[in-house]
């Protein structure tokens, strides 16, 4: 158990809908990362938050957005869902930012299926 929790574990929805994925980082970790794992794109970094502020952005679509709340949990919002958004979405957390060794601990993932 990495200490990172994600809810829900599974999500099935229809095209055009909007969903929210939730992540609670390990106790004390200030950085939260979101990754998408799909069959065709592999594992891709989406976005990072550090202590409530957006720190880095990767291949995140404009239909997707994220935020980190004062209690450090994070939510990833996916809207106008398409079939291609079906994937395993991981949240990871780490203690800090801008340091040499910054191990990321991954949550169990949320498997999103868009029908």
Partner 1 sequence: AQKITQTQPGMFVQEKEAVTLDCTYDTSDQSYGLFWYKQPSSGEMIFLIYQGSYDEQNATEGRYSLNFQKARKSANLVISASQLGDSAMYFCAMRENFGNEKLTFGTGTRLTIIP
State the CB neighbour count (10 A cutoff) for residue 112.
Answer: 22
CA distance 98 to 14: 39
Report which of 83, 104, 99, 102 is spatially closest to residue 40, judged by C-alpha positions: 83
18 or 57, CB closer to partner 1? Answer: 57
14 or 103, CB closer to partner 1? Answer: 103
CB 16 to partner 1: min, Å = 26
Residue ranges that bind partner 1, judged by CB under 8 A:
2, 31, 33, 35, 42-45, 48, 55-56, 58, 88, 90, 92, 94, 97-109, 111
CB 57 to partner 1: min, Å = 9
CA distance 35 to 81: 17
CB 75 to partner 1: min, Å = 19
* Beta pairing class for 87-94 and 31-38: antiparallel
């Amino acid at each position: 158990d990495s200490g990172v929790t994600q809810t829900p574990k599974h999500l099935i929805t229809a095209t055009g809908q909007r969903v929210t994925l939730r992540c609670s980082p390990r106790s004390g970790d200030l950085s939260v990362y979101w990754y998408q794992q799909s069959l065709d794109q592999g594992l891709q970094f989406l976005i990072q938050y550090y202590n409530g502020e957006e720190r880095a952005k990767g291949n995140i679509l404009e239909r997707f957005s994220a935020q980190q709340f004062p209690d450090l949990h994070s939510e990833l919002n996916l809207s106008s869902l398409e079939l291609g958004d079906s994937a395993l979405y991981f949240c990871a957390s780490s203690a800090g930012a801008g340091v040499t060794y910054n191990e990321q601990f991954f949550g169990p993932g949320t498997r999103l299926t868009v029908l």
